[in-house]
Amino acid sequence: MGGDTPRSAEPEAVVLDLPDLAEVRHRFDPGRLVVFDDGGTFSGRAAIVVQTSLPEWTGTGTVGEVLAGFGYAPVGTAYQRLRVSAPDGVPDRPGSAADGPPQVVVCFGGSDPGDVLGRIGPALLDDPDWVAELVVGADYRGIAGSWSPPVLRDPPDLPERIAAADLVVVGAGTMKFEAACVGRPAVILAVADDQLPGAPIYAQTRAALYCGDGRTIDPAVVRAAVAGLVADEPGRRAMGRRAAELIDGQGAARIAAAVLAMATAVILAQ
């Protein structure tokens, strides 16, 4: 605002995305608070609650505005650019015989604390029907870090790799939204407790195939799911198109607009 405008010592908006929201209510002005609450555990007061993994927010708190549903799924700018740069808005790789075996990218996030890749990865390697590319993040400390040949660690072109894949196997958190934004068919696995409620509901949209909890599932089940989709090119195409329809890449912009409107109202009320 202008130089003569009085300003509060507090920020106009506080945006939090934390595993444990129990103490949030005691630390911040609820009229300026924006909380990401995919687990539906927030019971305090806030101006805005964001719930991206379920159609409705299930918490018990008192909030001014709820932003719920897949339309608010935040997707990074790299995936947005890849989507926009495609001729019809959705990158597409047919995976025909002329292109070689279908490419399957497997990644479970930056740290993968349950080492889902270490459990599932071996079941997806060395199959003549597809080529599996295993990717881990910079903070990964699981057993796959010692494999030879090595897995890819934190490649800077991961969005491009996902957009060019015929199929992805990813965690049921933000990565499923990123893959969907660029129209990739996906097998998804829960890699954390807060993904367990939302993953099967997301799969009901036909934007992905949910196999279960990656920390406990039999790897053979995942291999069978991958084999089924690799053999079903029309099914993969339909799933990728549905995913791109569901996640248009504008979720972060919608959240930002709501936060800006709230912060503006706070400023005008001062």
Domain ranges across the chain: 14-73+250-269, 77-246
Three-class secondary structure of residue 132 per DSSP: strand
Q: Which residue in this structure is represented by tokens 């106009």?
A: 12
Distance between CA 253 and CA 247 in Å, rounded? Answer: 13
CA triplet 253, 154, 178: central angle to 5 degrees? Answer: 30
Number of C-alpha atoms within 13 angstroms, CB side, residue 178?
Answer: 24
Stated pTM of the model: 0.89
For helices 233-246 and 174-181, angle between their N-to-C axes, nearest 10 degrees: 110
Distances (CA, A) of 205 to 36, 55, 70, 216: 22, 11, 10, 24
pLDDT, tens only, 11-26: 899 999 887 787 776 7
Q: Residue 7: pLDDT above 60?
A: no
Task: Answer yes or no: are the C-beta atoms of 207 and 242 closer than 8 Å.
Answer: yes
Q: Residue 227: its pLDDT value, please?
A: 98
pLDDT, tens only, 180-204: 999 999 999 999 998 999 999 999 9
Exposure string (b/e) for 165-183, b if CB count within 10 Å is 16 or more? Answer: bbbbbbbbbbbbbbbbbbb
Q: Residue 86: pLDDT above 50?
A: yes
Residue 233: CB atoms within 10 Å: 15
Cβ-Cβ contacts under 8 Å for 134 (sequence gap 6 or more): 106, 107, 117, 121, 124, 125, 144, 151, 152
Q: Residue 5: pLDDT above 50?
A: no
**CATH dotted code for 77-246:** 3.40.50.2000
Q: Residue 137: pLDDT above 80?
A: yes
Read off the pLDDT of each residue in 88-98 and give the average, rounded to a whole number: 58
CA triplet 85, 204, 201: central angle to 5 degrees? Answer: 100
